[in-house]
Chain A
Amino acid sequence: MGLNLPLKRRPGPADEPGGAADPATADAIAAASQWRLIWLRFRRHKLAMGSLAVVCVMALIGLFCEFVAPTTPGEYSAEHTHAPPQALHFVDTSGGGLDLGFYVYGYDSTRDQETLAREYTVDESEKVELGFFVEGTPYEMWGVIPADTHLFGPENPEDRMYLLGADRNGRDMLSRIVYGTRVSLSIGLVGVALAFVLGVVLGGASGYFGGRVDTAIQRVIEFTMSIPTIPLWMGLSAAVPREWGPLTTYFAITVILSLIGWTDLARVVRGRFLSLREEDFVLAARLDGCSRSRIIGRHMLPSFTSHIVASLTLAIPLMILAESALSFLGLGLQPPVVSWGVLMQEAQNIHSIAGAPWTLLPGVAVTVAVLALNFVGDGIRDSADPYQ
């Protein structure tokens, strides 16, 4: 598990936006809004920009997973249990020359007489032609619109394609990971949204009222942070009844994750509130006779929304990690719901990993998503600091 600590990267002079050097951009900067400024600075972080692209692609995959996945996550095939990943071919040399193509080779499978495990070899004589926008397994887009067009897949719906291999029931890992994207990312988003409400309300109240309210809320935060999260999460999710439906479980798990995740946000909000209250510009606004609501809304909020956005972005990966850990243990989401953590349940014992290492791939998806979100969050935090 990662911790989200309030680090402040100290800019070197080399990082300073040198608006003054170029008069044209200097004017543009002088007139730009706060968010535009943040965006201008954010664009300079190449890693953060690249990660933002990764996050956007993942979000699109999650949004349109039924269309992106070559098949449906439940589609199984007894002949393809633990089939290894296939290599994509773009150049066809079988005709003697170099022809452009888009295909994978089929499998030859034999059954080991002793272990009864299937063993696969590539059958170069069998070519599975692939194409874009092909007809395949029917599905319902967002659970409502019936369709059967997939972004890509075998031209012949009877053929099978396992670019990332198959699980023990011969289900396509690629399709399952693509479907898992929707659940895993959305649980992060929804969890953070809930944590955000809790964090802003309680952190704001703590910072705004101060005094006893502050002390009480601080105690609760300290307490929540001092309990080892994993055992607590485990205990709470074990309390979710098995007979609840997938959607109810989903929300129950999200609520449990955010119950513990709100503390960080509350600390950030309270800290900003307290330090801003002492700032000279707030004092100036007060002396100018601004009303309380105007001071908060017009002067204080704009100067820390960017920090909150950064904290939110950094909280999402923590939620994703927590969900995958819980589901991996069998205490979180349950099959047939497909999340990256649920998929990792397949990789629980050494024999399945040794026989089919590609069952670890959902974990790679977790790592990529968490890395990308972390870089984006760091980028926002760096860009949001007006004093760089």
Chain B
Amino acid sequence: MRALLIRRFIYMVPTLFAISLVSFLIIQLPPGNYITTYVAELSARGQSVDQTQIRALEERYGLNDPVFVQYLRWIGGIVMNGDFGQSFLYQREVSTLIWDRIGISVALALATIVVSWGLAIPIGIYSAVRQHSVGDYVFTFIGFIGLATPNFMLALIFVWIAFAYFGESMGGIVSPEFADSAWNLGKVLDVVSNLWMPVLIIGTAGTAVLIRVLRANLLDELRKPYVTTARAKGLPEWRVILKYPVRMALSPFISTVGWVLPTIVGGEVMVSIVLSLDTTGPLLLQALRNQDMYLAGAFILVLGALTLIGTLISDLLLAWWDPRIRHAQAEEA
């Protein structure tokens, strides 16, 4: 198991490198840079722009150096000092800006995974065991709707309903009265009570996919001979199903976590923008719109790296869960 872990970590290095390249590419891709945007903005407001000031700014951020030098400086700063550069827009260190936000994003993503698994496993089992029942059709129908509706649309509908029936505009994870207080039980409860709706909205599509995957896998497994063997032993039906086919059907299910994770992160970004939550989403959008590229690049880099770690965890989970995979990998190693 340890060898597997180490090997997986080594595999991650080139992927991380590729992600950093893509993030930097995104920083560099737009024609012009923050300075040109800034200058355009100033002249739009009718202010004159001092050429020496521009040059000074360019000098300060090293914008005139060759691209690979800029990349090396950027990635070097991150790896050595955790320095993600300066946000032009906020005039602050990128790292101070993102960590808070990323924390809430990760919490949201984790909560979403837990909730969608909690919903998908029982519903998927029910739908497969009672195939063609009314409940199965109802869940399948809801699942398809959830899959086909963009989740920003769901978020909008939710906002609309909340506004129409409760007369308040929803938004924010921390309610205003707790905004400046330190973390205590009240604040935690407040966050949890504000969190459940975004979690459900972000999780809809993912849950729908998971239900479909589990149902299809389980339908496959339910017809396998080993299920008949278990029945022939005289086991109660629920135990037959939970111990054998469900166990098998969950294997491919666990491996989907790696794919679901990027979707959840993306959904989180979209939904947070609509609900104006204080997560990465709105800040990323802001940064992209203003070509505040160090900020945007840092977000993409960190979200990518986190997703990679999530995928790694799901791989390890799978190896722990399925002895066949564990043994195959042990032989490989």
Contacts and interface: CB of A to CB of B under 8 A. Distances in A.
A and B in contact, CB less than 8 Å? yes
Interface of A: 1-3, 5, 7-10, 12, 219, 222-223, 225-232, 234-236, 238-239, 241, 317, 321, 324-325, 328-331, 344, 347-348, 350, 353-354, 357, 360, 363, 366-368, 370-371, 374-375
A228 B148 contact: no
20 contacts: A1-B205, A3-B206, A3-B259, A3-B263, A8-B220, A9-B216, A225-B262, A227-B262, A228-B266, A229-B262, A230-B269, A231-B265, A231-B269, A235-B296, A239-B30, A331-B289, A347-B156, A353-B163, A360-B153, A367-B150
Contacts of B18: 223
B209 A238 contact: no
Contacts of B270: 230, 325, 329
B308 interface: yes
The list of the 5 closest CB pairs from A to B, nearest first, reads A230-B266, A239-B29, A238-B288, A235-B26, A228-B265
Nearest to A321: B150
Nearest to A357: B160
Interface string B199-238: 0000001101100110010011001000000000000000
A348 B275 CA distance: 10
A227 B304 contact: yes
Contacts of B308: 226
Nearest to B168: A350
Given A235-B288, A239-B26, A325-B152, A7 B144 contact: no
Candidate in A5, A9, A12, A219 with the most chain B CB atoms within 10 angstroms: A5
Interface string B126-155: 000001000000000000110111111100
Interface string B289-333: 101000011011001100110010000000000000000000000
Nearest to A222: B15
B35 interface: no
Interface residues of B, number: 65
Contacts of B85: none
A7 B153 contact: no
A229 B26 contact: no
Given A5-B259, A238-B26, 4 more contacts: A228-B307, A231-B265, A231-B300, A331-B289
B169 interface: yes
A1 B266 contact: yes
B32 to A, nearest CB: 9
B263 A1 contact: yes
Contacts of B307: 226-228
A3 B260 contact: yes
B284 interface: yes
A239 B14 CA distance: 25
Given A226-B304, A228-B303, A239-B26, A363 B259 contact: no
Contacts of A324: 150
Contacts of A225: 259, 262
B209 A5 contact: yes
A331 B297 CA distance: 16
Interface of B: 14-15, 18-19, 22-23, 26, 29-31, 131, 144-145, 147-153, 156-157, 159-160, 163-164, 169, 205-206, 208-209, 212-213, 216, 219-220, 223, 256, 258-263, 265-267, 269-270, 273-274, 284-285, 288-289, 291, 296-297, 299-300, 303-304, 307-308, 311
B246 to A, nearest CB: 16
Contacts of B26: 232, 235-236, 238-239
Nearest to B32: A241
Contacts of A5: 209, 212-213, 256, 259
A60 B163 CA distance: 38
A326 B147 CA distance: 17
A273 B147 CA distance: 29
B208 A2 contact: yes
Given A226-B262, A325-B150, A2 B209 contact: yes
A234 B220 CA distance: 38
A297 B112 CA distance: 46
Contact of A330 (B261, B289, B291): B289
Nearest to B258: A226
Candidate in A234, A366, A371, A374 with the most chain B CB atoms within 10 angstroms: A234
Contacts of A241: 30-31
